[in-house]
Amino acid sequence: MTQKNRPALLLAFFFLAWAAAGQSYQSFFTGNPVDAFTNPTGGICLMGGSSENDEAMRWFLRSANGGDVLVLRASGADGYNTYFYSELGVAVNSVETLVFNNAEASREAYIHDKIQKAEAIWIAGGDQWNYVSYWRNTPVDSLIQEAIKTRHIAIGGTSAGMAVLGGFYFSARFDTVTSDTALANPYDQRVAVDSAAFLAPAILSNVITDTHYANRNRQGRHVAFLARILVDYGARATGIACDETVAVCIPQDGVARVFGNYPESENKAYFIQIDESIRDATPASCTENKPLDWNLGAATLKVFAVHGTMEGTNTFDLNDWKTGTGGQWEYWSVAKGLLKIEKE
């Protein structure tokens, strides 16, 4: 290369980099470019974060019934393409990853078309505020909702992707929040609990999820979220949480299966509800700048904690929120900002 050509090549490189940065989205495609028309069996896969559980991912892919899988994310690249398309041994027609670089991507006709043709949609981890601020009240969230309701596509997500699938959700608008902060002041700005209509399938309409659960000591903040929902919205919401590498897979019949690698790992899923025997469950204190106090007798919250197995044999019935297999009931309460957990 001659010295005089180098500036021109460098200029071209920077122009291409600038042009790529200016695009609202990126696409990474693997598989058959001809759209498949299949009848997905539907269902929801909630993954707790860190590495994926392969058996839960096979369950999710089988729900697409050989169709097209769409991965949505706001950071990263094509890490799911080969994993979904060829590494798990479940035949699908194609896998396409769409990376949203900004909110403008939500107006792209190409993205709308891909959502309408997908038999399964997977939402990657990252920062859930990107998903909320990019997608809410745009064609993206309405098309995903329509696909769930009318075409019965499979929907799932990990970490931030799981966090946005409840009818109530921690938006992370003001960054993440720890349990210590949320319990010490449930109205700290970072306790950003939202209820505006977004992506939730019907069976999760009264649920708020959380992820990386015991691994990041998030039980306390999840309880604070539930207290805020009761006080702010008058709703006795329920919670579903997953430790890392654990997944809750919910078929159309509503009986959730819990995948993990117990007994190699003690990681669990958690199904949390206000004790049904308590008629007035209002916290003694859930106000700004004061510790949460939610201690209403023996058990303010009833929690079914269940290990995930490779076969997904342990279950919890989301139709009645009572019937479970392979788990143990726990009883949670908060006294002056301190979470107390008692086991059956």
Q: How many beta carbons lie within 10 A of that of residue 307, not counting itself?
A: 21
Query: Are 318 and 273 a contacting pair, CB within 8 Å?
Result: no
Say what the pLDDT of residue 162 is.
98
Say what the pLDDT of residue 22 is.
63
269: Cα within 13 Å, side-chain hemisphere: 32
Is the pTM above the cut of 0.75?
A: yes
What amino acid occupies position 104?
Answer: E
In the chain, which stretches have pLDDT less than 70? Answer: 1-22, 298
Say if domain 24-164 classifies as CATH 3.40.50.880: yes
The C-alpha atoms of residue 84 and residue 312 are separated, in whole angstroms, by 19
pLDDT digits (tens, 9 = 90+) for 26-72: 999 999 999 999 999 999 999 999 999 999 999 999 999 999 999 99
What beta strand segments (E) does 222-309 contain? 238-242, 247-250, 255-259, 268-274, 301-307
Q: Which two tokens stand for residue 147?
A: 């696909």
Say what the pLDDT of residue 3 is.
36
Q: How many beta carbons lie within 10 A of that of residue 167, not counting itself?
A: 23
Q: Where are the domains of the chain?
A: 24-164, 166-303+321-344
What amino acid occupies position 196?
Answer: A
Strand partners, 259: 247, 309
Residue 132 class from Cβ within 10 Å (0-12 exposed, 13-18 middle, 19+ buried)?
buried
Query: Are 122 and 11 a contacting pair, CB within 8 Å?
Result: no
Query: Are 251 and 257 a contacting pair, CB within 8 Å?
Result: yes
The C-alpha R_g of the chain, in whole angstroms, comes to 21
DSSP 74: S
Q: Which two tokens stand for residue 99?
A: 């990376």
Give the H or E element holding residue 142: helix 139-150
pLDDT digits (tens, 9 = 90+) for 194-246: 999 999 999 999 999 999 999 999 999 999 999 999 999 999 999 999 999 99
Say what the pLDDT of residue 344 is.
83
Nearest to 269 by CA among 221, 325, 226, 224: 325
Peptide bond into 33 cis (omega under 30): no
The C-alpha atoms of residue 157 and residue 166 are separated, in whole angstroms, by 11
Say what the pLDDT of residue 254 is.
98
Say what the pLDDT of residue 10 is.
32
